[in-house]
Structure formats: C-alpha cells, structure tokens
Amino acid sequence: MNSFDAKAGYDPHFSGHETFPLRQMWLKKVFDRSAENKVLKSEFTREEAIGVFGVGKNMVSSIKHWAMACGLLLEGKEVDSFTVSLLWSSILSSSGKDPYCEHPNTLWLAHWRLAGHHPGKHRSTTIWWIFNNLNAPMFNSNDLVKHLVTFSEKYKSKVSEVTLKRDVDTCLRGYCPKVDGNIEELAEPMLAELGLVINEGNGSFSIRRTLKPTLSDGMFLLALMEFWTSNFDEVATLSFEAIAHGINSPGRVFKMDEDSIAERLYSLEEITNGQLGWTDLAGIKQVTNVNHYTVELAQKAFLDSYDD
C-alpha cells in the first residue's frame, strides 16, 4: 500500500450519519438495546425507536451508523440482528469499565475504530483518509473534498461532490464543533475531547503530531497489536518506521510524534512482561514478538488500563 491506497477490495463509505456527528452517549444507548450479545436491526426501524432513543428519526439512523462505524455493532450470520463487540461490551455494560463513555480510553478506542483498525466493514472513509493520508499540518476542507473525489473514483465508488462535502463537514465537526454554530451544533461531539483536529477558521484545519498524554499505554498496545496482526501477521518483528508512519499505524492514526512513539516502545518489555521486546541497534529500530503476544492479551491490558 502506498500513502494513498487502502487494502485491495476496499469499499469507500461516505454516508449514513445523516449529517450528525457522534455524540457522547450514543454508543451506550445502542448497547442498552442489546440482549444475549445481539441487537435486533428492528430496534432502529420500529415506530417506538424515536421514543426509545429519545431523538428524531434521522438521528436514530445516525446512531446506528456510528455504532457500526465504531465497531460496536458487527454484521454476523443472522440477517435480522447485529452482533455486539465483546470488547465494547466489557466497556459499556452496567458493570463495565466505562458505561458512561467518560474515560479517555473509550474515546481513543472509538477513534481507532473510525480511523484505523475495524473488525468488520469500514464505514468512515473520510475519517480514515484524514488521519492516514494528510501529511501537512494544515489542510482546507474544500481541498479535502477534491482528494476524496479522486480517491473514490479510484475504487470505482460513485459518490457526488455534494455528498462528499456533507461527509467532510460532519466528520470534521465530530472532532471540533463549529464555533459559530447554533445550540444543536454546539452539542459537544464525543471525539472533540481528544483535541486531534483544530478549527483554524475559514475552512482551514490543523492536525499536528504531538505527545498524547491521555492515550494510555494499554490503548497504544492494543492498537499496535491489531495493526501488526492485520497487516504483518506472519512477521515476528515490526519496524519503527511501520509503527510510526505506516497506513493504519498507531503513529499515523493517533498523530504521535516520533519521540512519543519511541517512549511507548521502550516500555513494551515491562508492560508485556517480556513478551514484546524493543531493540535499537546500529540504527535498526524494531519491536520483536518474543513469546507470541496476542491481540487478546493486548485487549486485557487495554481493559486493565482503565483502572490505572
């Protein structure tokens, strides 16, 4: 993959949110409709849905979209229901780590699912593109639309420029609300707290690689292992370059500077009890999976980090 490519067979997705950004308690609202690790698809279409979710019809559709885009709801074998992610269940259940979506880990996981690794069909192409393909610290929303037109054409996806403009606007408002918006616009989007995107005004935005103090070592470790297994599963070592700059890598998706990434990697051996190792010899920087460390172990470390 070069810097402007997704994986072969990628299906771009630019709609479904009804122009509403993801909000604080929406994932919890969806999880609360689950039973036996499933959510019936009819929960979003039946007449009572408006009352159940406490929002209008279009917003119900948006809630479903973001629940799927964040990997909370997964398409399974059953046509009438979604499967609920076990990881999200461990977070959002009444006895879970963060049932009210207040902990930074929860916000970072949602961002990682939107911009990086997704266990099912990726539904947030614009967010993925912004965090994986923009290298300059400043960008303009109109230029972003033009880039996405080219990208969608490459993957033979027929989407109008109007749809792309709405999608770009919605996705950017998900990270930084409009300063001059109405009361509805000023409702704090869930991911704004991460401070990843800055609205510079006049359609310009900035994203800078910096230290991310609210990003836990557990979240970084989970992202690292998911990136590793989904892209380099047969490889026992992973280079610093791939971790910092590869498409879908923690470095790109979390917008971390190289020094911050290196600090995280230095501590891997301690965090994983020696199962992952970091070497920096003769200019070769890499992580080694010494003892078959797995995504499942990383998930446990991630969940444990809620209690740190």
Terminal alpha carbon distance of the chain? 37
Percent of the chain with pLDDT over 70: 94
- Write the Ramachandran bin of 64: left for phi over 0, alpha for psi from -120 to 50, otherwise beta: alpha
**For 254, which DSSP code?**
T
Q: For position 2, what pLDDT does the model report?
A: 41
Report domain extents, the chain: 26-206, 217-307
Is pLDDT larger for residue 28 or for residue 187? 28
211 pLDDT more than 80: yes
- 3-class SS at 22? coil
Q: Indicate the residue type of 50.
A: I
Q: What angle do CA 287, 293, 230 make, to 5 degrees?
A: 75
State the average pLDDT over residues 273-292. 93
Q: Is the pLDDT of residue 179 over 70?
A: no
185 pLDDT band (50/70/90 cuts)? low
Residue 165 CB partners (closer than 8 Å, separation 6+) = 145
- C-alpha–C-alpha distance, residues 279 and 269, integer Å: 10
Give residue 183's pLDDT. 52
Give the integer Cα–Cα distance in Å for 60 and 29.
10
State the SS3 of 142-198.
HHHHHHHHHHHHHCCCCCCHHHHHHHHHHHHHCCCCCCCCCCCCCCCEHHHHHCCCE
Contact yes or no for 287/201 (Cβ under 8 A): no
pLDDT at 79: 94
Digit-coded pLDDT (tens) for 213-239: 999 999 999 999 999 999 998 899 999
**What is the predicted pLDDT for the residue at 1?**
37
Mean predicted lDDT score pLDDT of the chain: 93
Pairing between β-strand 138-140 and β-strand 204-206 as defined by DSSP bridges: antiparallel
Task: Give tens-digit pLDDT for 94-142.
Answer: 999 999 999 999 999 999 999 999 999 999 999 999 999 998 899 999 9
pLDDT of residue 206: 97
CATH-assigned architecture of domain 217-307 = Orthogonal Bundle (1.10)
Q: Can you point out the beta strands (E) in the chain? A: 38-40, 73-75, 81-84, 138-140, 198-201, 204-206, 237-239, 276-281, 284-289
CB 123 within 8 A of CB 13: yes
- Distance of alpha carbon 253 from alpha carbon 245, whole angstroms: 9
Q: Do residues 168 and 141 lie in contact, with contact meaning Cβ atoms separated by under 8 Å?
A: yes
Instruction: Give the model confidence (pLDDT) of 7-56 as tens digits.
Output: 666 789 999 999 999 999 999 999 999 999 999 999 999 999 999 999 99
Instruction: State the pLDDT at residue 155.
Output: 81
